Amino acid sequence: MIENDFYTAQTQGPYETASIGRLDLEDGGVIDDCWLAYATAGHLNEDKTNAILIPTWYSGTHGTWFQQYIGPGHALDPAEYFIICVNQIGNGMSVSPRNTADDSIAMSSFPKVRIGDDVVAQQRLLHQKFGIEELFAVVGGSMGAQQTYEWIVRFPDRVHRAAAIAGTAQNTPHDFLFTQTLNEAIESDPGYAGGEYTSHTDVSEGLRRQSHLWAVMGFSTEWWKKEAWRGLGLDAPDAVLADFLDPLFMSMDPNTLLNNAWKWQRGDVSRHTGGDLAAALGRVTATTFVMPVSEDLFFPVRDCAAEQELIPGSELRVIDDDAGHLGLFNISPDYMSQIDANLTDLFSR
Amino acid sequence: MIENDFYTAQTQGPYETASIGRLDLEDGGVIDDCWLAYATAGHLNEDKTNAILIPTWYSGTHGTWFQQYIGPGHALDPAEYFIICVNQIGNGMSVSPRNTADDSIAMSSFPKVRIGDDVVAQQRLLHQKFGIEELFAVVGGSMGAQQTYEWIVRFPDRVHRAAAIAGTAQNTPHDFLFTQTLNEAIESDPGYAGGEYTSHTDVSEGLRRQSHLWAVMGFSTEWWKKEAWRGLGLDAPDAVLADFLDPLFMSMDPNTLLNNAWKWQRGDVSRHTGGDLAAALGRVTATTFVMPVSEDLFFPVRDCAAEQELIPGSELRVIDDDAGHLGLFNISPDYMSQIDANLTDLFSR
């Protein structure tokens, strides 16, 4: 067990945990006691027809969703919906290399987990814990979008609406390589010790280098050029790294990031259809909004748009934001109003 | 002196060297014996009105220019022009951390060099060695474009035509950060030893990590998605790294890359005009073609177009190439025909 303040209720906000029992993983591994950390808002109605599932993104937890996206005045309004945000497996909050009590899967021994494993685990949690069989909607960003796509392809009858923000159904080769550089930043740090470090601070320099890669790929050339970081109360480009990204990524757990990166790299709904992406996305019956961010450098609009065209009845809703992919953090003045408008529209269908 | 086969006539093609004497650098350093490695093609006419200067890019030498861009059938035709390609200071061919005989500036002691220092050195070489006072044209790509812009702002009366391919007159904040990640890939390798390694192979892992960053930023999402690497005779995405980029970057000298990166990060013609970019580019009298590559991720078309609008009488000529920035290597079927057509047009003005 690696202690880390980042993965606590104090930092991320309150959450609960529940075990779904043994989870046999797509790649052959097993998690004997697969427990998930989740947070809810609102109340499940009697018919159980108002549940919205939110899966989490790389490096993220339920925290940002509750701090930024969920609440009165938002489309994700707890007065109307029962909102459940489930931390993805291996993300440091749910069962993960750093926090499992099972030594056989701790640290570098943690098994490879795929997007499909998360979706299966989430479905079991919803069924076992809440008796939820169908979802009003699934809403996810980045790796959360990967899980959203997996839901509507794997369980087309269980999801009525889907919003996939800044992510793809089938990861791209370019994205795979970008993720590889994130991994190499960590693995090249001698303190990483093959995954057997004793504190995440042993890997501070590797995490800092990963942070700097996010500075390049996470924002856009325009965001930097227009000095949009001033909107964050920062007074120099260096401060974006030193005061924002570095402290954030240097707080995180290296094995967590690596395990989730492996999953991210291999997200692909066409695994259900022998590699035929059109056939996989053709299964979708949920009303689906594909919501790329205009300046995203690694989930570019055209990659998302090409998938949207394969999803029956779907709509492309581009979120205009110079921040690019990290716009997901809700750091631009016009971001959340676009998200809320689109989700409100989706939820009215 | 660090031996390295990459920086030899066998690898890069024949070249000559000439000293321009002492060079006092903009940032306060001095190179007592500043010698430049250059290669020429064609013959200087009697009036000395047919000289075309080509400065080099980051990680590059005169080699690629002679192998890909210069020759019969190309716009850069030695039958018509006297073409001189000058290796930038610190690039491993001209005086550099690895090859200087002056121990006081060897390896980690090599001084900081700016784009303006190169242009001053090139002007002296042209004058002293060839008696050339005016250039028919300057043509450069990437850092070569930075030097091209520096030429037409610093010496407006000495240049009649300019082609700036895939580069900017003022480096962007995003570009600065990208370059920083290239540096960190090297500096984080324990074998780098603060610049005092005994062979570039001591830094193989750092150079490999830099190669992987080029795989992400050097090509475009479309290039990877369309599997355009098949056009290079490669049969898998991994081969782009293992058989092309890795061996290339792992052949290079770490201090060379770091020294040139420092220069790249600070390229800015507005140093001549107290930070006023419009005033600096307003000085230009050369007929100038601004030639960004359509899919360039770090010198994007819009950054180049914004500068082009500030250059009197200039034209924006976008090179359509999915390869992105590394299209400069002439790896796409339609790349060179576009370069040649535009340069032929420019040279006819």
DSSP string, B179-192: HHHHHHHHHTSGGG
Radius of gyration of chain A from its Cα atoms, rounded to whole angstroms: 19
pLDDT at residue B125, rounded to an integer: 98
Residue in chain A nearest B212 by alpha carbon: A181
From the list B226, B252, B230, the residue with the least C-alpha distance to B331 is: B230
Which chain A residues are Cβ-neighbours of B175 within 8 angstroms? 221
DSSP state of B130: I
- Number of neighbouring beta carbons within 10 Å of residue A193: 14
pLDDT at residue A10, rounded to an integer: 98
CA distance B55 to chain A (A): 26
- B322 — pLDDT class (breaks 50, 70, 90): very high
**For the residues B34-61, what does the mean pLDDT come to?**
98
Do the bridges between strand A30-31 and strand A23-24 make them parallel or antiparallel, or are there none, so unpaired?
A: antiparallel
Contact A116, A31 (CB under 8 A): no
pLDDT at residue B153, rounded to an integer: 98
B234 burial level (CB within 10 Å; 0-12, 13-18, 19+)? middle
In a mutational test of the A interface, the residue from B221, B234, B266 whose CB has the highest number of chain A CBs within 10 Å is: B221
Share of residues in chain A with pLDDT > 90 (%): 100
CA distance B205 to chain A (A): 8
pLDDT at residue B263, rounded to an integer: 98
- B42 — pLDDT class (breaks 50, 70, 90): very high
CA distance A303 to chain B (A): 9
A296 Cβ contact partners less than 8 Å away, ≥ 6 residues apart? A166, A220, A324, A325, A327
pLDDT at residue A189, rounded to an integer: 98
Paired residues of A343 in beta bridges: none
Q: Within an 8 Å CB–CB cutoff, is residue A325 touching chain B? A: no
Which chain A residues are Cβ-neighbours of B303 within 8 angstroms? 221, 225
From the list A172, A224, A225, the residue facing B225 with the nearest CB is: A172
pLDDT tens-digit profile of A97-130? 999 999 999 999 999 999 999 999 999 999 999 9
Measured CA to CA, the distance from residue B130 to residue B43 in angstroms comes to: 11
Give chain A's mean pLDDT.
98
From the list B148, B156, B79, the residue with the least C-alpha distance to B116 is: B148
Contact B206, B182 (CB under 8 A): no
Residue in chain B nearest A211 by alpha carbon: B181
pLDDT at residue B104, rounded to an integer: 97
User: Cβ of B188 and A205 within 8 Å?
Assistant: yes
Measured CA to CA, the distance from residue B163 to residue B160 in angstroms comes to: 11
- B21 — pLDDT class (breaks 50, 70, 90): very high
**Tokens 């303190």 appear where?**
A191
Contact B286, A208 (CB under 8 A): no
- Sequence-ordered strand ranges (E) for chain A: 16-19, 23-24, 30-31, 35-41, 51-55, 82-86, 137-141, 161-165, 287-291, 315-316
pLDDT tens-digit profile of A14-63? 999 999 999 999 999 999 999 999 999 999 999 999 999 999 999 999 99
DSSP state of A41: E
Which chain A residues are Cβ-neighbours of B189 within 8 angstroms? 188
CA distance A103 to chain B (A): 32
Dig out the tokens for A83 from the structure.
Answer: 């909102």
Measured CA to CA, the distance from residue B20 to residue B39 in angstroms comes to: 16
CA distance B100 to chain A (A): 31
Q: In what order do the strands lie in the sheet with A51-55?
A: A16-19, A35-41, A82-86, A51-55, A137-141, A161-165, A287-291, A315-316
Three-class DSSP category at A171: coil
Crossing angle of helices B173-187 and A204-217, in 10° steps, is 150
pLDDT at residue B336, rounded to an integer: 98
From the list B178, B190, B224, the residue facing A174 with the nearest CB is: B224
pLDDT at residue A306, rounded to an integer: 98
Domains, chain B, in order of start with CATH, read 5-172+267-348 (3.40.50.1820)
**For the residues B46-70, what does the mean pLDDT come to?**
98
Which chain B residues are Cβ-neighbours of A246 within 8 angstroms? none
From the list B280, B258, B343, the residue with the least C-alpha distance to B77 is: B343
Amino acid in position A206: G
Contact A147, A36 (CB under 8 A): no
Share of residues in chain B with pLDDT > 90 (%): 100
State in Å, rounded, how far the first CA of chain A is from the last one: 45
Measured CA to CA, the distance from residue A161 to residue A118 in angstroms comes to: 19
Q: Within an 8 Å CB–CB cutoff, is residue B174 touching chain A? A: yes
Q: Within an 8 Å CB–CB cutoff, is residue A235 touching chain B? A: no
B24 in catalytic set: no
B235 in catalytic set: no
Q: Within an 8 Å CB–CB cutoff, is residue B246 touching chain A? A: no
CA distance B256 to chain A (A): 21
Do the bridges between strand B161-165 and strand B137-141 make them parallel or antiparallel, or are there none, so unpaired?
A: parallel
**For the residues B333-347, what does the mean pLDDT come to?**
98
Measured CA to CA, the distance from residue B111 to residue B90 in angstroms comes to: 9
Dig out the tokens for B51 from the structure.
Answer: 């000289």
Dig out the tokens for B9 from the structure.
Answer: 């006539």
Q: Within an 8 Å CB–CB cutoff, is residue A230 touching chain B? A: no
Give chain B's mean pLDDT.
98
**φ, ψ dihedrals at A59, nearest 5°:** 75, -10
- B223 — pLDDT class (breaks 50, 70, 90): very high
pLDDT at residue A153, rounded to an integer: 98
**Tokens 């909102």 appear where?**
A83
**For the residues B12-28, what does the mean pLDDT come to?**
98
So what's the ipTM on this one? 0.96
Q: Within an 8 Å CB–CB cutoff, is residue B310 touching chain A? A: no
Which chain B residues are Cβ-neighbours of A303 within 8 angstroms? 221, 225
B317 Cβ contact partners less than 8 Å away, ≥ 6 residues apart? B289, B290, B291, B342
**φ, ψ dihedrals at B348, nearest 5°:** -85, -10
Measured CA to CA, the distance from residue A175 to residue A292 in angstroms comes to: 15
User: Cβ of B225 and A300 within 8 Å?
Assistant: no
User: Cβ of B220 and A174 within 8 Å?
Assistant: yes
Count Cα atoms within 13 angstroms, Cβ side, for A334: 10
Q: Within an 8 Å CB–CB cutoff, is residue B192 touching chain A? A: no
Q: Within an 8 Å CB–CB cutoff, is residue A212 touching chain B? A: yes
Distances (CA, A) of A171 to A111, A119, B35, B224, B301: 21, 17, 49, 12, 26
A101 Cβ contact partners less than 8 Å away, ≥ 6 residues apart? A1, A33
User: Cβ of A180 and B217 within 8 Å?
Assistant: no
Measured CA to CA, the distance from residue A323 to residue B64 in angstroms comes to: 36
pLDDT tens-digit profile of B192-202? 999 999 999 99
A272 burial level (CB within 10 Å; 0-12, 13-18, 19+)? middle
User: Cβ of A172 and B224 within 8 Å?
Assistant: yes
Radius of gyration of chain B from its Cα atoms, rounded to whole angstroms: 19
Measured CA to CA, the distance from residue B194 to residue B37 in angstroms comes to: 26
pLDDT at residue A80, rounded to an integer: 98
**For the residues B125-129, what does the mean pLDDT come to?**
98
Contact A314, A290 (CB under 8 A): yes
Measured CA to CA, the distance from residue B85 to residue B88 in angstroms comes to: 9
DSSP state of B87: P
pLDDT tens-digit profile of A119-159? 999 999 999 999 999 999 999 999 999 999 999 999 999 99
Which member of A246, A253, A296, A322 is catalytic?
Answer: A296
Residue in chain B nearest A295 by alpha carbon: B297
From the list B145, B165, B154, the residue with the least C-alpha distance to B123 is: B154
Is the alpha carbon torsion for B106, A212, A318, A229 positive or negative? negative
Is the alpha carbon torsion for B142, B146, B151, B156 positive or negative? positive
Residue in chain A nearest B237 by alpha carbon: A173
Measured CA to CA, the distance from residue B56 to residue B147 in angstroms comes to: 8
Which chain A residues are Cβ-neighbours of B172 within 8 angstroms? 221, 224-225
A268 in catalytic set: no
